[in-house]
Amino acid sequence: MQNESTNNQKGQKRGEQHGQVATMYENWFLDYASYVIMERAVPYLDDGLKPVQRRVLHSMWELEDGRYNKVANIIGHTMKYHPHGDVSIGDALVQIGQKNLLIDTQGNWGNIYTGDSAAASRYIEARLSKFALEVLFNPKTTIWQASYDGRNKEPVTLPAKFPLLLAMGVEGIAVGLACKILPHNFIELIEASIDSLKGKKIDLVPDFPTGGIADFSKYNDGLRGGRIRVRAVIEKKDKKTLMIREIPFGTTTSSLIDSILAANDKGKIKVKKVEDNTAATVEVVIHLHPESSEDVDKTIEALYAFTDCEISISPNSCIILDGKPQFLSVNEILRLTALNTQELLRRELQIRLGELEENWHFSSLEKIFIEKRIYRNIEEAETWEAVMETIHKGLKPYKKLFYREITDEDVVRLTEIKIKRISKFDAFKADEHIKGVEEEIKAVKFDLDNIKQYTITFYKNLLKKYGKGRERKTQISEFETIVASKVVINNAKLYVNRAEGFVGIGLKKDEFISDCSDIDDVIAFTSDGKVMVAKVNEKTYIGKDIIYVAIFRKDLDDETVYNMIYQDGSKGAIMMKRFTIGGVTRDKGYDLTKGLLGSKILFLSVSNPNDGPTVIVKLKPKPKLRNLESIIYFGAQLIKGRGVQGNVVTKFPILRVLEATPEQVQQYKKKQPDIFLPPSKDDKTQMKLEM
């Protein structure tokens, strides 16, 4: 009993420990997930920056003296704010520098086209751009917090007066959350911000630094579920040479060339050689084989279909707002940043107004203090309190002239005026100064009363000063999806063994059908009235006694019409039908007849919807059966789906079905012209053609 009690106590203790560990793990994991989301992966709406980017820029601002600083020095200075090592700081700094907006760079900062990395941090230099200094920093409007070790102060967010988040773009992966905001055009962002303040509708689409052509029809305002298709700009130099001048965003010339060579190795395209001459601009030269040069347009489409010359990008606009991650459209983000800019400008004006009023206040006090010779009255005062009281008494008649009460601090400042300044006091200059301050106060109050127009003017000035050379690089277009089967080169040959019922590219000893590619589909009909669509393979079983086989083009299904005469069962009626195949499942057999045992196809041909074959049906001789021959023009029949049973041709046994010659067609057109009339679309009934 004692051992059992001891075991129970041990088990209970282990259970308590397990519960404690589980609770600790849950709390720690939530803390970690929250930290990654808030401090590493997702940008803040206020300034569009991740913490490491903000700390880098703040450090550069502290080091700012107009000259370039070694990047290694900037990294070292930033480490007192960012506790995650020099590598993450250096990577963030290079990424900001490559965007050519906030940082002026000097040295080898890598190449966004080729993917080449920047030189070591000890060899390259950087400083803040004039644009960054104007829109990103203002200690008076910045909210500060203690750094991770408590030794320094760093900004919670920078007071950004520009939609920096949308201009630079950002990508990050957190715990159960991802963010991908694409870069937008500098000029368009400013113009859209102005439109937003005016209450106009805005519709932003990205603009990529690598250029290219993009279809934004499914952008979905940058939210989840949207999709952008981006293509390289491919030029025809001559019949044997193609030039890639711009590449899709997110690719490099190296990755692009690798995808072209991979497609060539798989036989999707045929290229002779690819050269990369990229430097300041993209220049990838593609040399074609002679057979590819015959249809250069098709080769270009194949490059879009099978290589990274066309890619798809899925945006996911996620930001930190009010201390938590939120999914907002890029248009809503722009609207909020425009309002944030307006509020920051309002705060700057209010701060400036307070400074001007203080300037006016003390300038006026000083003028009265000197002109009214109040300073002479303090000569007889024997104590500091008496000095203060004397000055207050001398200023009392003029108190109504001031914006606020005259405080002891004001009086102390008056006592600190040097005798030299008093002796050289110029009343005219003092009046001019006060007048200038009053005019500036009036102007600031006017701007505060018209803050929206003031913000619009601010944006227009930014556009005027920094907009040159920042025109859109990515062309906006809408293009159709390229069907791979249309542009892939025929890299294989299709064969058929009709008797055994096999088709494939590996049956090289059997009947050749046509050239094909390994991504094509094949359609085959068997004599018992079944059809199957299968992917081109080495060897695929369709069914014995194949009577028709061809490459199946689903995109051309509406243009391909099948004309068929079949017998319904071993002793059934002779039926005819004109149909398209429609949607099918690969490797599944479909009945084109009613599926009765003994059904068989007597005639099958392929035509376009506007025409059809003319056939002669001959019956077996039978007593009292006078008309043993009749003609059928399929072009006069309605086109329906593959599942339709069709029209009755005859219930009598037939001898054979022949396709009419052109001469026979002309003869029957003279004798029976009604047979060749086009079908009536309003006629929903099945016409009987019994003989």
pLDDT tens-place string over residues 396-412: 888 888 878 888 888 88
In a domain, 52, yes or no: yes
| pTM given for the model | 0.74
The yes-or-no verdict on residue 683 having pLDDT over 80 is no
Per-residue pLDDT, 664: 85
Q: What is the mean pLDDT of residues 268-277?
A: 88
Centre a 10 Å sphere on the Cβ of residue 544 and count the other Cβ atoms it contains: 14
For 114-118, 234-238, 415-419, 682-686, which range has the lowest pLDDT when averaged over its residues?
Answer: 682-686
d(CA 82, CA 53): 10
d(CA 546, CA 108): 66
Same domain for 691 and 561, yes or no, is: yes
Per-residue pLDDT, 99: 92
Same domain for 558 and 691, yes or no, is: yes
In a domain, 177, yes or no: no
Q: What is the CATH number of the domain that holds 457?
A: 1.10.268
Reported as a single tens digit per residue, the pLDDT across 350-392 is 999 999 998 998 888 888 888 888 888 887 778 898 888 888 8
Centre a 10 Å sphere on the Cβ of residue 315 and count the other Cβ atoms it contains: 24
Reported as a single tens digit per residue, the pLDDT across 434-457 is 999 999 999 999 999 999 999 999
Q: How confident is the model at residue 462 (pLDDT cuts 50, 70, 90)?
A: very high
Per-residue pLDDT, 610: 85
Same domain for 137 and 91, yes or no, is: yes
Per-residue pLDDT, 688: 39
In a domain, 336, yes or no: no
Q: How far is CA 663 from CA 244, 607, 610, 668, in A?
A: 56, 20, 21, 9
Q: Mark which of 133, 160, 187 sits at the end of a domain.
A: 160
Same domain for 257 and 381, yes or no, is: no
Per-residue pLDDT, 291: 67
Same domain for 361 and 294, yes or no, is: no
Reported as a single tens digit per residue, the pLDDT across 495-531 is 999 999 999 999 989 999 988 887 788 999 999 999 9
Per-residue pLDDT, 676: 78
In a domain, 144, yes or no: yes
Q: Mark which of 104, 128, 160 sits at the end of a domain.
A: 160
Same domain for 368 and 281, yes or no, is: no
In the chain, the percentage of residues whose pLDDT exceeds 90 is 49
Q: What is the CATH number of the domain that holds 74?
A: 3.90.199.10
Per-residue pLDDT, 685: 40
Reported as a single tens digit per residue, the pLDDT across 285-321 is 999 887 665 678 888 888 998 899 999 999 998 888 8
Q: How confident is the model at residue 7 (pLDDT cuts 50, 70, 90)?
A: low
d(CA 375, CA 216): 74
Helix axes 408-415, 384-395, angle to 10 degrees: 100
Q: Mark which of 145, 160, 175 sits at the end of a domain.
A: 160
Q: What's the domain count of the chain?
A: 5
Same domain for 460 and 500, yes or no, is: no
Same domain for 371 and 429, yes or no, is: yes
Helix axes 451-466, 427-449, angle to 10 degrees: 100
Same domain for 615 and 513, yes or no, is: no
Reported as a single tens digit per residue, the pLDDT across 597-615 is 889 999 999 998 888 899 9
Q: Which amino acid is at 578?
A: R
**Catalytic site includes residue 123:** yes
Q: How many CA atoms lie within 13 A of 501 on its CB side?
A: 13
Please spell the DSSP secondary structure of 96-123, one letter per residue: HHHTTSSEEEES----TTT-PPPPPTTT
In a domain, 66, yes or no: yes
In a domain, 638, yes or no: yes
Per-residue pLDDT, 690: 38
In the chain, the percentage of residues whose pLDDT exceeds 70 is 90
Beta strand 561-567 pairing with 600-607: antiparallel
> CB of 689 within 8 A of CB of 630?
yes
Same domain for 269 and 392, yes or no, is: no
In a domain, 18, yes or no: no
The yes-or-no verdict on residue 166 having pLDDT over 70 is yes
Q: Give the domain range for residue 511.
A: 490-521+532-545
Same domain for 287 and 306, yes or no, is: yes
Same domain for 367 and 416, yes or no, is: yes
Q: What is the CATH number of the domain that holds 302?
A: 3.30.1360.40
In a domain, 584, yes or no: yes
Among candidate residues 123, 375, 566, 633, the one labeled active-site is 123
Per-residue pLDDT, 3: 55
Per-residue pLDDT, 41: 67
Q: Which residue in 472, 599, 589, 481 sits closest to 184, CA to CA?
A: 472
